[in-house]
A and B are shown apart, each in its own frame.
Chain A
């Protein structure tokens, strides 16, 4: 798989992941009751997992 991907597609993918990550991290901040550093780290990683899965799911289904 050495197919060159257009920079536009990479940018779009990164944008989608980042948007999901931001939305899910915000959701995490809404759910918790007190904020500290460890809480932020755990929240950010959980949001990252969610964002990756969101993109995988979207690609598997194709948004119509």
Chain B
């Protein structure tokens, strides 16, 4: 019975990982990845690993999305020429 919370979070992580893979657009994938980071932190907490959860929170909630979104922005800016950058 006390494992219910572990099962719930495990299933959520599995579903979120699937969603992160099927989203083909990198910007939308970054959104799902940041949710995956938060869910993984919750999973690590219920697996009694608060240190790892902190690590995942620090990296997954802000750093990785920022890196991916900056990359997306750079490539989008390359894609459209200067004139419509206004």
In the complex, A touching B (Cβ < 8 A): no
Chain A contacts to B: CB under 8 angstroms: none
**B→A interface (CB under 8 Å):** none
